[in-house]
Amino acid sequence: MSKDKKSHLWIPDEEVQRLNKALRAIPPQRNVSYAEHGSKLSHSLKEIKHTLDSVATDNSLGDSDLLVFNIELPDGEKIQDKQTLFDSNGMKVRAVKNVRSAIVTSTSTQFQTLRNRVDAYTRNGTGKTYFDFIEDFKPYIGSEKNSRELQKLATSAQIPVILDIQLMLIPNLEDHVYQTTMTQLLEKINATKGELQESPYYLSDRTPVVRAIIPSTALSRFENDSAIYRIEKTDFFNVDATQNTAIDLESIEIDPSVNVDELPIVAVLDSGVSFPQSLSALITQNWIAPNSGAGDGDHGTKVASRVAFKYLNQQLQSNIVTPRARILDCNILDGSVPVNIFIQRIQAAVNAHSDIVKIYNLSANATSPIEGDEMSIVGYELDALQLRTGVQFIVSAGNHTLWKTEFRLEDIIDDDDSRISAPADSMLSIVVGSIVGADHENSLSERNQIAPYSRRGPGFKGFSKPDLSAYSGTIVLDGQDASVPNDPLSMLISKDGKLIADAGTSFSAPIVAGDYAEILNSIPDRDTLLSKALLYHNAAVLWDEDGMEEDELTLAHNLYGRGLSNVEESRFSSPSKVTFVRTGSLNRVTKERVSIYMPQILAAQVGRNVAKVSVTCVSRPLVDRTKGTEYLGAYIRASLKKSHSDGVTLMPVQQDYREGRQKWDICHQFSKTFSKFNSGDWQIWLELFGRWDDKNDDVPYALVVTIEDVSGTLDVYSEIEALNRYRALNTIRIRLDN
What mean pLDDT do residues 495-504 have? 91
Q: Above 90 in pLDDT, residue 29?
A: no
Q: How confident is the model at residue 237 (pLDDT cuts 50, 70, 90)?
A: very high
Residue 632 confidence (pLDDT): 95
pLDDT mean across residues, the chain: 93
pLDDT at 89 over 60: yes
Q: Residues 350-373, buried b or exposed e (16+ Cβ, 10 A)?
A: bebbbeebbbbbbbbbbbbbbbbe
Mean pLDDT over residues 448-470, rounded?
Answer: 96
DSSP 138-190: EE--SGGGB-HHHHHHHTSSS--SEEEEEEEEPTT--HHHHHHHHHHHHHHHH
pLDDT surpassing 90 at residue 389: yes
Q: Tens of pLDDT along 114-170?
A: 999 999 999 999 999 999 999 999 999 999 999 999 999 988 888 899 999 999 999
CA distance linking residue 568 with residue 566, whole number of Å: 6
pLDDT at 386: 98
Q: Check residue 3 and give its pLDDT.
A: 73
Lowest-confidence segment of 174-188, 222-236, 521-535, 646-660 by average pLDDT: 646-660
Residue 737 has pLDDT above 50, yes or no: no
pLDDT in tens, 309-368: 999 988 888 889 999 999 999 999 999 999 999 999 999 999 999 999 999 999 999 999
Mean predicted confidence (pLDDT) in 704-729: 96
- Provide the pLDDT for residue 70: 98
Dihedral angle computed from the Cα positions of residues 227, 229, 231 and 232, in that order, rounded to the nearest 10 degrees: -140
Q: What is the pLDDT of residue 575?
A: 97
Could you give the C-alpha distances from 22 to 556, 590, 634, in angstroms and in order?
Answer: 38, 8, 17
State the pLDDT at residue 738: 39
Cβ atoms of 165 and 190 within 8 Å: the answer is no
pLDDT beyond 80 at 599: yes
Q: Which of 606, 591, 561 shows the shortest CA–CA distance to 450?
A: 561
Annotate 560-612 with DSSP letters as a single string: HTT-B--HHHHH-BBTTEEEEEEEEEE-TTEEEEEEEEE-HHHHT--SSS-EE
Q: What is the pLDDT of residue 647?
A: 77
* Cα→Cα distances 228→67, 220, 416, 674, Å: 12, 11, 28, 56
Structural element, H or E, at residue 434: strand 430-436
The model's confidence at residue 736, banded by pLDDT at 50, 70 and 90, is: very low
Across 222-240, average pLDDT: 93
**Model pLDDT, residue 1:** 56
Who wins on pLDDT, 496 or 618?
Answer: 618
Q: What is the pLDDT of residue 693?
A: 67
295 pLDDT more than 50: yes
Which pLDDT score, from 0 to 100, does residue 318 have? Answer: 83
* pTM for this predicted structure: 0.94
pLDDT tens for each residue of 631-690:
999 999 999 999 988 878 899 998 877 666 678 999 999 999 999 999 999 999 999 999
pLDDT tens sequence across 535-578: 999 999 988 877 788 888 999 999 999 999 999 999 999 999 99
Model pLDDT, residue 242? 59
